[in-house]
Amino acid sequence: MKPKVIVTRRWPAEVEARLQEKYDVTLNASDHPMSVAEFKSALQTYDAVLTTVTDGMTPDAFEGLSLENVRTKIIGNYGVGFSHIDVSSAKRLNLTVTNTPDVLSECTADIAILLMLMAARRGGEGEREVRSGNWTGWRPTHMIGSKVSGGVFGVLGFGRIGREAAQRAMGFGMSIKVFNRSKVPSEVLQAFNAEQVGSINELAEAADFLSLHCPGGAENTHLINAEVLARMKPTGYIINTARGEVVDDVALVEALKNGVIAGAGLDVFQGEPAINPDLLTLDNVVLLPHLGSATSATREAMGFRVIENIDAFFNGSEPPDRVV
């Protein structure tokens, strides 16, 4: 008997087809985000639940479940971040959790650079002006932005995506400063000609662009707060392709309104798709709808990576990307 597998959202067609060849699959034809009740019932019905960031698997989604009534053995998350999955409940229920690292690092780093350029060179504002018919023509003082090339690129979290972003920033002649909880090996720092600083405040003071590449979750919630923003240069920018909760968006709005920093580029939001409405009123912030991994090559690779993990699991070997 093939293991019973449920996919919580629509995936690229090739990946869904591959899954269907191998497993007894239930697809989410309408692509609606699963409710807590649906998720709870899935855990009692399927051998594997294949999730995404839109599945809020907070402790209440696991409430009332026990080893006796849970059928699921593995949660295969489609995405690298898994802070939406309550790890202690997963452990209590003896669930294996896997993610999809590596395959999305380049494309997510691309979006960080896109946001940096758009924010600094006022790409969003410019586009809005042209489309609205309000552009009156070239003039020396029109829509002046900030120079990116040669600036300081601050990386908070020097993992795979942070390094890809730094690599790209080096192409703009930027110098790299890094804050990372653990010590980055000196040969890695050398390869980026990077300096590892000792605190987030120090990084904030040095960076022209402070790009966030750490995981989300409780321990990184509001790492970027009013105090850190106050340390930044008034010409500085925050770039967030990590998780919305890493930035205190109320403090960010104040900083953007009051000239504490020059601007921001955000691909992720606390409580997304809801967005702090004040952000929508500000011209010095660029807003994207969580596009980090949104290329066809990457979304397919993510799906095949989930399949590799559940294949390994159901064949009795260690899934390559086990995180719990």
125 is catalytic: no
- Tell the residue number behind the tokens 């629509």, with chain if given: 10
Nearer to ligand 8YV, 97 or 104 (CB): 104
Q: Which of 57, 75, 80, 118 binds ligand 8YV (CB under 6 A)?
A: 80
213 is catalytic: no
- Rounded to a whole number of angstroms, the distance between the first and last alpha carbons of the chain is 26
Residues 6+ apart with CB under 8 A from 151: 172, 174, 175, 208, 209
81 binds ligand 8YV (CB under 6 A): yes
Name the token pair of 13. 């067609």
Residues 273-302 that bind ligand 8YV (CB under 6 A): 292-293
What is the C-alpha to C-alpha distance for residues 290 and 80, in angstroms, rounded to an integer? 13
| Annotated catalytic residue within 272, 300, 308, 322 | 272
From residue 25 to residue 64, what is the string marking binding to ligand 8YV with x (rule CB under 6 A)?
A: ---------------------------xx-----------
In what side-by-side order are the strands of the sheet with 209-212? 195-196, 175-179, 152-156, 209-212, 237-240, 263-266, 285-287
Q: Is 116 helix (H, G, I), strand (E, B) or coil?
A: helix
Nearest distance, CB of residue 132 and ligand 8YV, angstroms = 31
Q: Which stretch binds ligand 8YV (CB under 6 A): 24-32, 34-42, 73-81, 228-236?
A: 73-81
Could you give the angle at which helices 105-120 and 296-314 cross, rounded to 10 degrees?
A: 150
Nearer to ligand 8YV, 124 or 303 (CB): 303
Nearest distance, CB of residue 300 and ligand 8YV, angstroms = 12
What is the C-alpha to C-alpha distance for residues 103 and 112, in angstroms, rounded to an integer? 16
What is the DSSP code (8-state) at residue 152?
A: E
Q: Which of 8, 19, 47, 79 binds ligand 8YV (CB under 6 A)?
A: 79
| Annotated catalytic residue within 84, 163, 243, 299 | 243
Residue ranges binding ligand 8YV (CB under 6 A) = 52-53, 78-81, 104, 108, 292-293
Query: Which residues are part of the catalytic machinery?
Result: 243, 272, 290
